[in-house]
Amino acid sequence: MILILNCGSSKVPYIEEMVDEFCGFTTIPILDFSIERLTEFDGVIISGAPVLITEQNISEHLKKVEWIKNTSIPVLGICFGHQLIGLTFGAFGSRMKEDRDWQTIEAFEDSILFQKLPQEFEMMEDHCETISIPQNFKLIASSDACVNEAMQHNELPLFGIQFHPEVSGNLGRIIIENFVNFCLNRSN
């Protein structure tokens, strides 16, 4: 069972639709989430949000994901979720040129997220901010528009992607499938 933490993105139904192809899920608004429920799930996906980390106070959101510092449960952050993971581990956010189109992503590190994908693949973007690479994370993919398109923690099962696989067709579906399979295989 996958927990989808809804940060307010209009794309959450697309995440739900993709996850539903592979296993059950529960969606909870992030600010309503209680850590006591975490043990019910095999993995967590943190959605995007219509929130600017460089302009708005996101301290409540950050409090709701503090647990990721010590988790053994796999977590995938998408866009704002990716930024939350990074900020929790000391990354800093910055503005960049608005990107609301397809980008060619280049994966240059092995990752469970990119299994069955070519080294370069196109994904839909929807952001105007980026984050630095936090300590103990490795950069696993970039684009010409954004350096930190994807990162993963060196020890914990934490993954962040700046792009939106949930609206990127079959290649995006592969990323969600890879993450869900990783979660389910760990819990068996």
Q: Do 8 and 49 contact (CB within 8 A), yes or no?
A: yes
pLDDT of 92 reads 96
Model pTM score: 0.97
Tens-digit pLDDT profile for residues 24-72: 999 999 999 999 999 999 999 999 999 999 999 999 999 999 999 999 9
Residue 164 annotated in active site: yes
**Distance (Å, rounded) from C-alpha 19 to C-alpha 93?**
29
What CA–CA distance (Å, rounded) separates 121 from 65?
29
> CATH for 2-187, among 3.40.50.880, 3.40.50.720, 1.10.150.120, 3.20.190.10?
3.40.50.880
Q: What is the separation of C-alpha 13 from the centre of its chain, rounded to a whole number of angstroms?
A: 15
Burial 136-148 (b: 16+ CB within 10 A, else e): ebeebbbbebbeb
Q: Does 187 have pLDDT greater than 90?
A: no
186 pLDDT more than 90? no
Question: Does residue 188 carry a pLDDT above 80?
Answer: no
Active site residue 153: no
Residue 79 catalytic? yes
Question: What pLDDT digit, counting tens, does each position of 62-71 carry?
Answer: 999 999 999 9
The active-site residue, picked from 16, 129, 149, 166, is 166
Tell me 53's DSSP state: T
Exactly one of 82, 127, 153, 164 is catalytic; name it.
Answer: 164
Q: Kindly name the residue from 79, 127, 129, 153 that is annotated as catalytic.
A: 79
Q: Bridge partners of 95?
A: 129
Contact status, residue 138 vs residue 127, Cβ threshold 8 Å: no
Segments in 38-188 forming alpha helices (H): 59-64, 80-88, 169-187
